[in-house]
Amino acid sequence: MKNMMKKAVVLALAGTMAMGIFAGCGKSSDTLVMATNATFPPYEYHEGNSIVGIDVEIANAIGEKIGKKIEIEDVEFDSIVAGVQSGKYDFGMAGMTVTDERKKNVNFSDPYTTAVQSVIVPEDSAIASVDDITSDMKIGVQQGTTGDIYASDDYGEDAVTKYKSGPDAVQALLAGKVDLVIIDNQPAKSYVAANEGLKILDTAYAEEEYAIAINKQNDELLKEVNTALSELQADGTIDSIIKKYIKD
């Protein structure tokens, strides 16, 4: 009995120590874990071995202001909100549109930029404007995005094929598996520039705001992020980061 107790104490201690070690190499107090989905140029995408883009640079600028290092986790877009909600990630930044539905699960920072949805079609497509889109067409989207939500609402779930990423949807379009892709305007431009034979139509969807998703319990981080964002907006940093990537 005595021995068993000892064993239990030793095991408990070992467990606590192991947890300490794991905590030490995971989130430390001077690091913020940012969840993103790096398939979305110019906001976040892979370049060689690193993830770069507007969101990455804005996040790093915020991190500098609040004295934290930013560690990026590249995950599925539609797992970001849940991961922020559960505390797995400190924040989510992924060209993420503020929606009422998402607001039920996370807080959003002040918006840092805007976007609209675009339609990508093959150059020789009979679809000349959004009015030509009908629910018997095949529409490709990135799963869980606003493009997915709008397309499903407007043309019905049956018309919509959900892909893991924008590039996957665009590959399906090139292969003739879908007739069009609905996705945010800037990534749409990048995808079209990177692939031959595609063009872009504008949609009637309203302007969206991109913001940073933060855990509802973490008011302190929300405040810090908003203060940093407003300083970075005021001194022109955000503008120059965006201009570096978007040359219109």
| Chain center to CA of 222 | 17
Q: How many residues bind ligand ARG (CB under 6 A)?
A: 14
Reading the block at residue 217, the tokens are 């319990």
Contact flag: residue 112 with ligand ARG (CB under 6 A):
no
Rounded CA separation 53/114 (Å): 16
Site string for ligand ARG, 147-176 (x = CB under 6 A): ------------------------------
Of the candidates 35, 96, 119, 225, which one interacts with ligand ARG according to CB under 6 A? 96
Distance CA 101, CA 117 (A): 18
Is residue 109 a contact point for ligand ARG (CB under 6 A)? Answer: no
37 binds ligand ARG (CB under 6 A): yes
The answer to whether residues 143 and 162 touch, using CB atoms and an 8 Å cutoff, is: yes
Specify the amino acid at residue 58: I
Q: Chain centroid to CA 100: how far?
A: 16
Judged by CB under 6 A, which stretch of 33-41, 64-72, 81-89, 199-207 contacts ligand ARG?
33-41
Among 85, 97, 185, 215, binds ligand ARG (CB under 6 A): 97
CB neighbour list of residue 227: distance below 8 Å, 6 or more residues apart: 65
Point out which residues bind ligand ARG (CB under 6 A). 36-37, 39-40, 44, 77, 94-97, 142, 145-146, 184
